[in-house]
């Protein structure tokens, strides 16, 4: 199967959604498949980290609903940083409601997520109608959706059923579903789809609150494209050095996978 492995540049050409295409291109151009997850509670900290790690990442993952001082200027400032350093914004909202509510949660409220987040994700618990409703909001903006196929917690209830439902919805809406949150590759014959894996850390195996960690090399060799690192970088003594280190080993693992080295 390693003979079939395509580069991010080749996969950009196969993308069926503008955001997915953009992400593949950024990864190739900047030589990074690192996404930093910035779970901080103030705007100042979020913007500072975004600026520090910006040169080394393809995407920044946010939880805007944990910011104590959120306002609309935050997303404007964040978008500017993303534009300067050429990375995408991924709001880790984990949508999980019925279609009618999702449309307001994605497009409205004070966060107006669709207006600034290139990428969002959703659980499939509400069924395919939830993806259809998000798509109605996101498609006019060219946004992409990552379906939560697998979680990294110790006793997650995602299983084989969730994976097969995720694959199915990705083929139903190829113009909007750009890939998956998973622990490795689940769609082996669909190079246009992205596999993104959170819970990556070089030095820890658990957070004591149910989160399990894996190294970048392990998840990339399992077929992951985008390596999502949170506390391993943002709680490091030197955020820039940590981002470089995670970028380097994630990219090295990608190149080894690409060239058939296990």
94 in catalytic set: yes
Helical axes 72-85 vs 43-53, angle rounded to 10°: 10
Whether 224 contacts 197, CB under 8 Å: yes
Examine residue 201 and tell whether it contacts a copy of itself (CB under 8 A): no
CA-to-CA distance for 110 and 103, rounded, in angstroms? 14
Q: Which of 57, 148, 187, 242 binds a copy of itself (CB under 8 A)?
A: 148
Examine residue 126 and tell whether it contacts a copy of itself (CB under 8 A): yes
Instruction: Give min distance, CB of 260 to a copy of itself, in A.
Output: 34
Phi, psi of 74 (to 5 degrees): -60, -50
Question: Would you give the binding string for a copy of itself spanning residues 8-27, x where CB under 8 A is met?
Answer: --------------------
Examine residue 151 and tell whether it contacts a copy of itself (CB under 8 A): yes
Examine residue 7 and tell whether it contacts a copy of itself (CB under 8 A): no
The runs of H, that is alpha helices, within the chain are 8-14, 18-30, 43-53, 72-85, 99-107, 128-138, 160-172, 216-221, 231-234, 239-258
Examine residue 211 and tell whether it contacts a copy of itself (CB under 8 A): yes
Q: Which of 16, 63, 221, 222 binds a copy of itself (CB under 8 A)?
A: 63
Q: Which of 157, 160, 259, 262 binds a copy of itself (CB under 8 A)?
A: 157
The helix/strand count (H/E) of the chain reads as 10, 8
Q: List the catalytic residues.
A: 94
């Amino acid at each position: 199967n390693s003979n079939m492995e395509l580069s991010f540049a080749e996969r950009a050409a196969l993308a069926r959604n503008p955001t997915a295409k953009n992400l593949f291109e950024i990864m190739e151009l900047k030589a990074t498949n690192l996404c930093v997850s910035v779970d901080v509670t103030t705007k100042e900290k979020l913007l500072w980290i975004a600026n520090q790690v910006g040169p080394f990442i393809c995407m920044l993952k946010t939880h805007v609903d944990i910011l104590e001082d959120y306002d609309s200027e935050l997303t404007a400032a964040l978008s500017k940083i993303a534009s300067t350093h050429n990375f995408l914004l991924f709001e880790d909202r984990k949508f999980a409601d019925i279609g009618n509510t999702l449309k307001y949660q994605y497009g409205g409220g004070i966060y107006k997520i669709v207006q600034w987040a290139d990428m969002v994700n959703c659980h499939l618990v509400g069924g395919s109608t939830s993806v259809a409703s998000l798509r109605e909001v996101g498609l006019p903006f060219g946004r992409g959706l990552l379906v939560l196929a697998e979680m990294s917690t110790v006793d997650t209830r995602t299983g084989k059923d969730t994976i097969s439902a995720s694959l199915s919805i990705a083929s139903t809406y190829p113009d909007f579903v750009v890939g998956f949150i998973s622990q490795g590759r689940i769609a082996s014959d669909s190079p246009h789809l992205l596999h993104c894996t959170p819970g990556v850390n070089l030095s820890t195996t658990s957070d004591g609150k149910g989160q399990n960690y894996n190294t970048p090399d392990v998840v990339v060799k399992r077929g992951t494209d985008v390596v999502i690192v949170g506390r391993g970088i943002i709680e490091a003594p030197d955020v820039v050095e940590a981002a470089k280190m995670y970028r380097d080993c994630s990219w090295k693992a990608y190149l080894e996978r690409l060239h058939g080295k296990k």
